[in-house]
């Protein structure tokens, strides 16, 4: 029974990773702030990635590290904190793991780090996204580079848009599902873009397999189905019982609203409701090719409709809808 040090176990993906680790027979030592919910069976370690160097003693005795934690925010005021936690915190944590004698690490990145489909082909692990001038998505690019520069063997997992039960915060994809189920989705994104959606349980399983079989220094896209937004709205309509919106928001109108909202968020020091980066991404085909993970991690994408059903059922049971 090897021990795995896990960050982010109180989050959506990390919580599922913890459950899969325990089911696979691992001991889980989970980093969490005081008062955060952890899955049953985890040994809690209280600390913060801002002071990751202080975690060396807690990392001793752990064979592996899985680093799922990250600071997510689209508010301009949080950009410095995002860089501090997601980039510097990752580098510091991996340094502490090296000193503690951890054998290897799996780091959770994001498909945003490879960018959209290019030349009509879904993105793969050979691609790196273009920087957007700071913020969360740029931090995932820099996080990966910091991870691969560490003195400990690292495997990088790049999930697309995970859906399923347990999305407490919720994530941006989860919020989209909640808004749709509440009948608050009044328009469709501009253009003919799309995204890849994956069951969160598939993402969690890939982390566990990567511990044992992932190639050091390799990136693995963990995706499910590449869906045009048109098709995704129909799937959400079926899962929620709500009609799909029919009005296409023109890109010029969406961008104008986003710039106004960005100005408001800077004045009020709050998160934007209409992120500029989100408007641009909604016009792109955020499709991913998971062939490498299928070959090397035995990744078998499960049914996305069933994952959406589980997500909607969980949101309803827990009062989000």
320 domain-assigned: no
- Domains held by the chain: number: 1
Q: Which domain holds residue 257?
A: 3-315
Q: Per the structure block, which two tokens stand in for 137?
A: 């998505």
Q: Please, which pLDDT band fits residue 16 given cuts at 50, 70 and 90?
A: very high
- CATH value at residue 94: 3.40.50.720
Looking at residue 266, its pLDDT comes to 81
Residue 106, classed as helix, strand or coil, is: strand
15 alpha carbon, distance to own chain's centre: 12
What pLDDT is attached to residue 34?
A: 79
For residue 301, being part of any structural domain is answered with yes
Residue 66: the pLDDT is 98
Is 321 among the domain residues? Answer: no
Specify the pTM: 0.93
Whether 18 shows a pLDDT value over 80: the answer reads yes
* 274-313 per-residue burial string, b: 16 or more CB within 10 A, e: under 16: bbbbebbbbbbbbbbbbebbbeebebebeebeebbbbbbe
Is residue 257 domain-resident?
A: yes
pLDDT score recorded for residue 144: 96
Q: At residue 151, does pLDDT exceed 80?
A: yes
Q: Is residue 184 part of a domain?
A: yes
């Amino acid at each position: 029974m090897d021990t795995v040090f896990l960050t982010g176990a109180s989050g959506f993906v990390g919580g599922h990773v913890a459950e899969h680790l325990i089911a696979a027979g691992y001991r889980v030592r989970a980093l969490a702030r005081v008062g955060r919910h952890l899955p049953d069976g985890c040994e809690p370690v209280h600390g913060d990635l801002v002071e990751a160097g202080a975690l060396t003693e807690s990392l001793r005795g752990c064979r592996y590290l899985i680093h799922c934690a990250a600071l997510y925010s689209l508010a301009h005021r949080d950009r410095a904190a995002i860089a501090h936690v997601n980039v510097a915190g990752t580098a510091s944590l991996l340094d502490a793991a090296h000193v503690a004698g951890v054998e290897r690490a799996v780091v959770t990145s994001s498909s945003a780090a490879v960018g959209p489909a290019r030349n009509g082909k879904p993105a793969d692990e050979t691609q790196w996204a273009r920087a957007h001038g700071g913020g969360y998505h740029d931090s995932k690019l820099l996080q990966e580079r910091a991870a691969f520069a560490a003195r400990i063997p690292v495997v990088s997992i790049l999930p697309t848009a995970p859906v399923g039960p347990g999305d407490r915060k919720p994530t941006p994809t989860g919020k989209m599902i909640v808004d749709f189920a509440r009948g608050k989705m009044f328009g469709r994104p501009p253009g003919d873009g799309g995204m890849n959606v994956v069951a969160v349980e598939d993402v969690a399983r890939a982390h566990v397999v990567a511990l044992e079989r992932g190639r050091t220094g390799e990136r693995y896209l963990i995706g499910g189905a590449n869906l045009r937004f048109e098709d995704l709205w129909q799937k959400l309509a079926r899962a929620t019982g709500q009609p799909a919106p029919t009005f296409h928001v023109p890109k010029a109108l969406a961008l104008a609203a986003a710039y106004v909202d960005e100005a408001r968020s800077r004045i009020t020091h709050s998160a934007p409701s209409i992120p500029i980066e989100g408007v641009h991404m909604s016009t792109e085909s955020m499709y991913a090719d998971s062939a490498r993970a299928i070959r090397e991690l035995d990744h078998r994408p499960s049914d996305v409709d069933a994952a959406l059903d589980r997500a909607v059922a969980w949101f309803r049971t827990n009062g989000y809808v």
